[in-house]
Structure 1
């Protein structure tokens, strides 16, 4: 792939369209390797410019090359640039237009700018289509009496059947307004990213960011066929075109980029429509799927120690979550899909840590008197000028240190008479000041891949100039209960039924672990109904409870066995033991025991770290602590045991009964005591490992 990320933008020359997503607004979509994220609605150009810039910045911070496509002309028919701006350079024309366009969410001056251009060229063209209620000098409402000194269309628009003229400013297909309002945004993006950005076909694409002109109508029938029910057309256009461009093989994209007109601009893919359609016919690449035998045990292995089971899961599972880019303010709890680097230092400039008076250099013991210069340095403002040697200036906390200042003395230690300050030394050079980059330097990695973002992380990202971050989409995990004996809580249960305690417990666990929990309901002991429920689960992973052993009514394990992807792990663990692991049509399934205590323990010990790995946050070891035992126990060798426990008065207490049917012990407990595989005698005061619920990530 020549580009790791493709962003397609459907532009608008109109005003703010309001908070509700709607047609004829600005829409954008991010895609990587043929996988498109959900389209993003951007209600005005100011919001769009910020989102595009921040998204590109996050992609570059993650080390990805980015191609950004906009659906308006990047240039005009030959001769216009020189006539209007005195240059043949189309990029210089962008800057020329940017100097004249005034833009706000509720209004802009594009019609007045077009009228002024017409007047400068004789007064009857090339622009037409005044869409305002008032007349605009030099800009006709229609083409009546219109005279265009230039070609009506660029060469690209002549070849692209159905394309509109760049001179039309109002009415259906008014790409002229889109260009006048879009080129200033592109000009500012060029200034923001400087040498890391190139524009096709005007410049060689040897930078990390490429701006290209696109036109979704090149594949209009294919987009229409893939538009979802009730989906806004503009959203569908950016979604499908982004998917197509990101799925193109390098040789196909190279051929498209070899075309173009370096004077007028060009539409990417024009003349290569069959290649674009061909990319649509190829199945969209996905993250590497898990193999059907990823849960298979080594030959001859029947009983699996806990550590061996965990090692197999860690070795064989890989992330399956998609990647998307979100604004920092919406990133709480999300998992970074790539490391993030600081875009600027924190603090960006040397500043003062206190209110006081600043000067250059330290001072020895004794009394020091310094003349004051006029003015002061406050946070958010710049002191005008430099502070001469031997002078002082008033500074307030957080203010950037003026030139000639590197040391601050606290105001409480100073006497002031209006013209001079006096204080006692010694004062160390650099006292009460912060160096630029003292906390974080620009370019430093601030957060690693796999980090689940905390509120403190959001503060750090904002402080170092990061506006958007690449993250994994939340892992969708379905929860399904099985068994004829189950009844829904709150209903009338028969004498032979029990209430389904597992499903609400597992749904709650998944939410606390940071996943998107999907309730798949309950299924009776009916193999066909179970298969239908699994087929309809549009999730990344599934947790089932019950039916995971080898009995007549253990339909979960039976179905996975029939699908050719079952590993019935008999794990040397108490409570628990049978754990059915398998793949159902590409989706990993964790078949948990039906007993609630065993289901919760197996979820925390086995499923939780496996799901974290699938979600992109890496393998998560539970964090435990060695504490004195407040109980006595004799344990046989062979199985690792987990006891419901809590801390009281500095010792670990355990629940009065180890019976795995005692659900009240889960509510009573605040964590688990883990006892090792071998034989053990625990006496009061002996060290044991206690894992609080928080140590499992809850």
Structure 2
């Protein structure tokens, strides 16, 4: 179902509240596509009804399907409507009240009418709560406890399912909703009569008309989502209007999939998580500064550590956020810390199958009488175990009252009435303490963490149903050069197959981002510009390979130079010396070298941590291991060197060639050996730092 506009209505059963906006009055708010207009205050029901009629008419004329949800019960418990009207149709009951309610801005007859209705039922009730001091109303008790024998349920099924819902029979006092219902039915009836077949009432009628009325309840969402409005009622209508209007057509289908019953149903009940996700607007961080990649003036050859420190200091998350179900959150990055909704374990419980009693027990043999019953996981023992007695208990069961210690079943001999065991046994043996793993309100996982399967288990155990995460980082990968052909295409003399794109796209996927294949760009500046313009609409960041230096055909560097954001880094490393960085229409661009080995090494060393931060995560530092070398090398000072390597017999051996075009060496290797910036003489047994590809997220 498609819903274009949502109007939320906070109704009131009281008198005119004056010209100045006040709490406990009538407030409405209209929203479309997750954006709410300013809440509107209505001083009385007459003003509100005129506004609703005119607004619905305007939405109808504009061709927008509109749902208006009222914070009042649309029906009473089973049996009430039939007693008054001869049918259980709640819409007939609306008309019944419309014919009998007398209402003006200064006075209404809701208490007198409630007393007259009570007189139609046996006993005393069902309405109660005479709100007129010093003036008794016939047949209307002042207290709910004074009612009896009227033969109706206190709540509807939907009220019982909605935490904190009040009885529709209460007319005054804290939480009174009965007055709202009596004074709301006539307005609902007149709206139906005015709009005729263009309007339906959910869930009593199929919501396939241009206008739909529904019952709402302003306690489905956490109060932390309320905006900072001085009047809570205004904040509530804005929140719920925004949440419902942000639902997709398929989500509306889920919310409206409710069997019709004469008692009605609360719109959104059972879908609080869905509404909460819709209510939270996606937050978009500020853009990167145009000079974020600029190194200090005078820098010529930049050491690797200095380049990494510069990126770490100048990059920040660039993706918005969303709230999603926990079951869909694997691999996503937390944008909000998660606190435990419930302790884990929630109660003291048994770690083994056995018998529970009050410990400790001293050394020696003991015989304990068995108390009747048992405790099992999900079936706690409801009584108290007498002193000196034991109770059968199974693993995971709550520790029964009167006990604190569990003896392992295998350490006992039992009969139907007693157990025998040997001490000593410490107090609380084999018993887990409530909250020993996580306590309610504890921060379980911090912001910037990429969620693992183990994390999902941890969060599920403490009651977390949804998490707020960064949206996936969309990373485009573009290869440049006239000489490149895609694998499978004909390649002439002087042309080579593009190895970088397949490699880098796979890197992106392994790192948990969304890869976007931008293809191959020829050595033509206008074509490259067009590709980058398109990429900026589809990607959050862009990796390119080739054209990153300062030669005649290095068009990537030239284009970034034109944006005023180019930083052409000459990194003191081998392989991978040239690195072009800049912004294209606000999107960070990493211009990697064209040779495959250099492109991959630069991607692992620089792009991997940088993209993690841009995606909202922590800066990952690769974990290295000191191992003996199984090779010989004389290294000059002045640059860091990364050698393709693998471990054999506990030592690091390196690929036979250091050429950055020998792509097969990447398949041969299981990691890199990082040689320091200083000069070094390495022989068999010399300690070297080995960085497995797994430490780079591969």
Instruction: State if a TM-score over 0.5 links the two structures.
Output: yes
Runs of 4+ aligned structure 1 residues displaced above 2 Å come to 8-11, 27-33, 75-90, 96-99, 101-105, 147-160, 162-180, 195-201, 203-207, 209-216, 231-236
Q: Match of 2:520, SS?
A: strand
Q: 1:327 aligns with which of 300, 325, 341?
A: 325
Contact 1:622 1:691 in 2 (8 A): yes
Q: 1:443/1:661 Cα in 2 relative to 1: closer, same or farther (>3 Å)?
A: same
Partner of 2:628: 628
Q: Is the 8 A contact 2:357 2:388 kept in 1?
A: yes
What is aligned with 2:387? 389
> Take 1:687 and 1:470, find their aligned partners in 2: how far apart are those partners?
44
* Distance change in 2, residues 1:566/1:611 (3 Å): same
Displacement after TM superposition at 1:291 (Å): 1.4
The answer on whether the counterparts of 2:326 and 2:467 sit within 8 Å (CA) in structure 1 is yes
Equivalent pair of 2:373/2:392 in contact (CA under 8 Å):
yes
Matched, 1:569 2:569: yes
**1:177 deviation in Å?**
8.0
Deviation at 1:312, TM superposition (A): 0.8
Equivalence map 1:8-87=2 (5 Å): 71-75=68-72, 83=114, 86=127
Computing the radius of gyration from Cα coordinates, the structure with the larger value is: 2
2:494 matches 1:496? yes
In structure 2, the CA distance between the partners of 1:168 and 1:442, relative to structure 1 (3 Å rule), is: closer
Q: 1:299 Cα shift?
A: 1.1
TM-score, normalised by the number of residues in structure 2: 0.69
CA distance in structure 1 between the partners assigned to 2:36 and 2:308 by the alignment: 32
Structure-to-structure mapping, 1:234-253, within 5 angstroms:
none
Residues 586-611 of structure 1 deviation map (CA, whole Å, 9 limit, x = unaligned): 00000000000000000000111100
Identify the residue that residue 602 of structure 1 maps to in structure 2: 602
CA contact (8 A) 1:168 1:177 kept: no
Aligned partner of 1:663 in structure 2 is 663
Q: Residue 561 of structure 1 aligns to a residue in which SS?
A: helix
Could you say what the CA RMSD is over the residues aligned between the two structures, in angstroms? 4.5
Task: Please give the alpha-carbon distance, in whole angstroms, between the structure 1 residues aligned to 2:692 and 2:545.
Answer: 24
Describe the shift of the 1:172–1:682 C-alpha distance in structure 2 as closer, same or farther (beyond 3 A).
closer
Q: CA shift at 1:618, angstroms?
A: 2.0
Query: How many Å apart are 1:417 and its aligned residue?
Result: 1.6
Number of matched pairs: 538
Does structure 2 retain, via aligned residues, the 8 Å contact 1:198–1:206?
Answer: no
> Is contact 2:448–2:617 with CA below 8 Å preserved after alignment?
yes
Q: Relative to structure 1, is the Cα distance of residues 316 and 197 closer, same or farther in structure 2, using a 3 angstrom cutoff?
A: closer
- Gap regions ≥5 residues in structure 1: 1-7, 12-26, 34-68, 106-112, 115-125, 128-146, 239-283
In the TM superposition, residue 565 of structure 1 has moved relative to its aligned partner by 1.4
| Match for residue 485 of structure 1 among 483, 503, 519 | 483
Distance in 2 between the 1:89 and 1:159 partners?
A: 33
Instruction: Give the structure 1 partner of residue 314 of structure 2.
Output: 316
Give 1:286 shift: 3.5
Cα contact 2:68–2:214 (8 A) shared by 1: no
User: What's 2:401 paired with?
Assistant: 403
1:389–1:574 distance in 2 versus 1, CA, 3 Å: same
Kept in 2: contact 1:641–1:676 (CA 8 A)? yes
1:100 aligns with 2:156: yes
Cα distance in 1, alignment partners of residues 534 and 445 from structure 2? 37
State the secondary structure of the residue aligned to 1:446: strand
Q: CA deviation at 1:619?
A: 1.1
Alignment partner, residue 298 of structure 1: 296
> Does 1:179 pair with 2:209?
no
> Structure 2 unaligned runs (5+)?
9-30, 38-65, 74-97, 118-125, 132-142, 145-151, 162-166, 169-179, 256-281
Q: Secondary structure at the match of 1:310?
A: helix
Give the superposition deviation at 1:497. 0.1
Shift of 1:172: 6.1
**Residue in structure 1 matched with residue 340 of structure 2 by the alignment:** 342
Determine the C-alpha separation between the residues in 2 that align with 1:371 and 1:597. Answer: 75
Cα pair distance change 1:234/1:413, threshold 3 Å: closer
- The separation in 2 between residues aligned to 1:491 and 1:653, in whole angstroms, is 36
**Change in 2 beyond 3 A, CA 1:342/1:148:** closer
Quote the Cα distance in structure 2 between the aligned partners of 1:89 and 1:638: 90
**Does structure 2 retain, via aligned residues, the 8 Å contact 1:10–1:234?**
no
Partner of 2:507: 509
Aligned to 1:645: 645
Deviation at 1:296, TM superposition (A): 1.0
Query: Aligned residue for 1:580?
Result: 580
